[in-house]
A and B are shown apart, each in its own frame.
Chain A
C-alpha cells in the first residue's frame, strides 16, 4: 500500500480539523507511514468469502417504550459550554464574510 507524505498529513489534518503546525507534519508522516506499513498485514489473510463484522453483538432496531422522563434542563445542558448567549450556545461565525 502507498506511503503517506507530509502533504497527505496536512490534508487529513484539515479534514479532521486539527491545526497541526507545519514543522510537525514530517514527524507525523514518518510515524503514520510506519503504522500503515504494519497494519497492511490485514491483507495477509484470505477474506474472499468473509462477511465484514462491524459489531460484536448482532442487533438491529433496538426499541424502548416512548415514555416521558426527566432530562437535562437548558441551564444544565449549557453549563459546560465555552460561550453562551441568550440561553443558547454561542459559536464563532459559520459563514465566510461576503
Chain B
C-alpha cells in the first residue's frame, strides 16, 4: 500500500506544489487503492480513471510552468453521485437515472475543477439521498471500512466510506437531514453541513430544496476547512445562495482556541435512546471542552422532540414535488413506451420501475401530506413546528457561542437490520435534523470508539447561521487534544482492508 493514500489533503497539496511528488502519482496511488479495496467497500458507483489522470496531469503542467495553485490543487476527491457532472454519469443511486450523462457541471463541480482538485469518480448514496445507511442505493449497499458487515451511514455513505477507506482524502456530500454528518460519525471521519445558502445548490439534484446543502468530508478538521473554502460562496445561479463573504474557516481551523467560549449541551439530544458508549464519549468531550477553558452549560430546546415528525412531513412534501420531473420524458430511462400507451401510463410505469421502495414511500407520503383536507394538519403544522425549532436555536445562541450533542444515537448498525422498518431508520437522524430545519451549520467530529463495540462515535457541533468558522475553531481544538491522547488519527485504529 502506497504511503501517499494515508497523507492529509493539505500535505499532499504541499508535496505536489513543491514537486516532491506529481499529481499524477497521487491520483494513481488512489486509483490503485480503489482497485484493491472498492470491490469490498463499494464506495464508488463510477470511477473516472481517464478524467482523473488528465486533471492531475494538468495540475502537474501548471506546477512546471510555475503558476500559482489553489490550496488543494492535485488532491483527489470522491464526489457524491447527486452532483451533475458534465460527461460523467449521474445516477443519484437510482435506476431511473441509470445511464444519464448530464450536459453541464454543478457549480460545486466547476469550483472543484477550477481549484485543480482531481475528481476520482462518483460515490454511492441512498436513492435520491433518502436514507441513513446507503442500503437504499439501487446499485447495492456501501460497506463501512470499520466492519464490512455494517452500514457507512447515509445518504452519503459512499463519500464517508471512500474517505475512511483511504480511497480519497476528500469527498463532497450533501446533507438534508444529516447525510454528511451521520456518515462521518459512523466512519470516524469529519463532515460539515455548511449554513444553508453558503454553498450553491445549482446542479445538485434536489431532494428537499429548503433543507438541502452540499458540504465537505475529510479525515481531519483542517482538510475539511480547506475544501469548505473552495466550494463556498455566492452563486447567481442559485437564488437561495447567500450574498455575503464566506466565513474564514481555514483561519478558524488553525486557531483552535476555545478559551472563554460558551458551549451549550442540548438537553433534548442525549440520554434515553442513545447508546451507552455514545454517551460515554460525549461526556468525555464535555469534560475535555471544559479543560480547554470553555464554559459548558445545559440549554433546553423544548420543540426538538417534534422535529423528526415535522421533518418527515416537510421532506416528503418537497420531495414529492421535486421528483415529479423524473418521468422518462426529457432525460433518464423510459419504460413501457410501445406506441400504444398514453403519456400518463408511460410515466407511471417508468416511475414504478425506476424508484425503489423508500423513494416510493416518501413520494406517496408527501402526496398525502399536501392533499386537500390534510394540508393544514400535516404540512402546515410541520412548518409551524419548524418556526419553533428556529426559535429554540435563536434563544440558545443568545446564551452560548456553539451547541453540542452526539451526532447520531448509535454507532454503525448491521446491514439489513433496519431496512424494512422505516421508522427505526428515521431515528438515526434525530439529532441532526433540527440543524437543517433552521438552516444552520453543523459539524461531526470523531471523538473515539464506543467501548462496547469499538466503532466510531461522532460529536455534533452547531453554530449560528454564517458562523461556520466557529465549528472549525471548536472542532480543531478538540481534535488536537484527541490526537495527542490517541497518539495519531482515529482511522489508524481501523482494521486493514483485505486486498490492500
Residue numbers of A with Cβ under 8 A of B are 1, 4, 8-9, 12-21, 28, 31-32, 34-36, 38-45, 47, 50-57, 59, 62, 64, 72, 76-77, 79-83, 89, 91-94, 96
Q: From B242, which residue of chain A is reached at the shortest CB distance?
A: A57
Asked if residues A47 and B388 are in contact (CB atoms below 8 Å), the reply is yes
The answer to the question of B413 belonging to the interface, with a C-beta cut-off of 8 Å to chain A, is no
Q: In the complex, A91 Cα to B329 Cα: how many Å?
A: 6
Q: How far is the CB of B86 from chain A (nearest CB, A)?
A: 9
Given contacts A39-B378, A50-B387, A72-B104, contact A55 B210 (CB under 8 A): yes
Please pick, from B210, B312, B346, B438, the residue contacting A39 in the complex, using a CB distance under 8 A: B312
Cβ of A54 and Cβ of B383 under 8 Å apart?
Answer: yes
Q: Is A56 within 8 A of B331, CB to CB?
A: no
Interface segment, one of B52-60, B287-295, B355-363: B355-363
Q: Which residue in chain B gives the minimum CB-CB distance to A82?
A: B334
Q: Which residues of B approach A to under 8 Å, CB–CB? A: 100-104, 196-197, 210, 236, 239-240, 242, 303, 305-306, 308-310, 312-313, 320, 324, 327-334, 337, 339, 341-349, 351-352, 355, 360-361, 363-365, 367-368, 371, 377-378, 380-388, 390, 422-423, 437-440, 465
Given contacts A16-B364, A28-B364, A31-B422, is CB(A51)–CB(B387) below 8 Å?
A: yes
Q: How far is the CB of A53 from chain B (nearest CB, A)?
A: 4
Task: Report whether over half of chain A's contact residues are helix, strand or loop; otherwise say mixed.
Answer: loop
**B332 and A80 contacting across the interface, CB-CB below 8 Å:** yes
5 contacting pairs across A/B (C-beta < 8 A) = A34-B422, A35-B422, A42-B309, A77-B103, A92-B337
Across-interface contacts of A53 in B (CB, < 8 A): 383-384, 386-387, 390
CB distance from A63 to the nearest CB of B (A): 9
- Establish whether residues A42 and B378, one from each chain, have CB atoms under 8 Å apart when the complex forms: yes
Closest to B302 in A: A45
A18's partner among B308, B331, B352, B371 (CB-CB below 8 A) is B352
Chain B residues near A38: list those with CB within 8 A.
308-309, 312, 423
Instruction: Specify the chain A residue showing the minimal Cβ separation from B382.
Output: A42
Roughly how many angstroms separate A9 CA and B324 CA in the complex, as a whole number? Answer: 17
Contact residue among A16, A35, A40, A41 (Cβ-Cβ distance under 8 Å from B367): A16
Are B196 and A56 interface neighbours, CB within 8 A?
Answer: yes
The residues of A that contact B345 with a CB separation of less than 8 Å are 19, 92
Q: Is the CB of B303 within 8 A of A45?
A: yes
Residues of B within 8 A of A81 (CB): 329-331
Asked if residues A80 and B330 are in contact (CB atoms below 8 Å), the reply is: yes
